[in-house]
Chains A and B, each alone.
Chain A
């Protein structure tokens, strides 16, 4: 079974292990715009980029490969021009870009957990067969993100709850909502690596490090990445 951590002498929470397994299952399944094989390939190139290996791909569009590398190693310099060029390149679209971002960042986060703790990286999953659903949510609207986002009223209840009281959610929550399933993924890995959206509203949620320590880490990682948000 993936993420067994059998050789790791660390008390890793069950929630974290389950979220890592879930992430690998999500990566392997066909999405809305990429096949399972393409999604696993995106995760592979993400991993290569973090090792400064400019790996190539025989199945992804060239613009997708470049976007993965930018997201991983040059994320401080992403801008609207990069986005516009990417989504209009052959084989790309707004929807494919947003799905690619979700796969890159979640795979990266699981890998970074391992790297920070000195644990070998988990082998990437075998892709699952099937075609992408190619369904864009009808409620998607162009708002403040580069890509359209989906309001709470356009989401199924189990995903809409993640927006809390806001119709458009916090900007970082709705950013990947053009692929609505991303909201559940975002929440579950947040709960495992940081706090659940509910815990975020608590002054001192039950964790092994205090809320000020948690937020100091968050702020420092943001600064190292030159992230204004």
Chain B
């Protein structure tokens, strides 16, 4: 979830609602955020509506953006497995920067939280 931190840093103070990462009913404040979250959910969950959501992404954001979004999803399907397959803890800087919202987002319930003391 280090990228929740990067999401926060990508805008001005409190510009984006970080809890949208764990609750898609929340408006992230990111342009086209809801559709991108739906794309993530459909692709990772291999849902029946994937083609429909993908078509909406292509229509609303364009083909190049749809490719970038798909590539991002693919990238993090890889990175989470590296992190949890190797049992790595949070980097010190991220650990410090995320103190304020880790509990709020319920991240300590994840099994892989055990890798971070």
Give chain A's interface residues, CB within 8 Å of chain B.
10-13, 16, 71-72, 75-80, 83, 98, 101, 104-106, 108-113, 115-118, 144-147, 170-172, 175-176, 186, 189-190, 192-194, 203-204, 207-229
- Contacting A at CB under 8 A, from B65-105, are 65-91, 105
**Shortest beta-carbon distance from A178 to chain B in Å:** 9
Q: A11 — which chain B residues lie within 8 A by C-beta? A: 63-64, 67
Q: Indicate if the CB atoms of B70 and A116 lie closer than 8 Å.
A: yes
Q: Indicate if the CB atoms of B20 and A112 lie closer than 8 Å.
A: no
Interface of chain B, main secondary structure: helix
Q: B112 — which chain A residues lie within 8 A by C-beta? A: 76, 78, 226-229
Q: B87 — which chain A residues lie within 8 A by C-beta? A: 78-80, 83, 145-146
Give chain B's interface residues, CB within 8 Å of chain A.
1-4, 6-7, 10-11, 16, 18, 20-22, 24, 28, 30-33, 36-37, 39-41, 43-46, 50-51, 54, 61-91, 105, 107-108, 110-116
Q: Across the two chains, which residue of chain B brings its CB closest to A186?
A: B82
Q: How far is the CA of A78 from the CA of B113 in the complex (A)?
A: 11
Q: Which of A71, A106, A145 has the most CB of B within 10 A?
A: A145
Q: Indicate if the CB atoms of B11 and A212 lie closer than 8 Å.
A: yes
**Shortest beta-carbon distance from A226 to chain B in Å:** 4
Q: Across the two chains, which residue of chain B brings its CB closest to A115?
A: B43
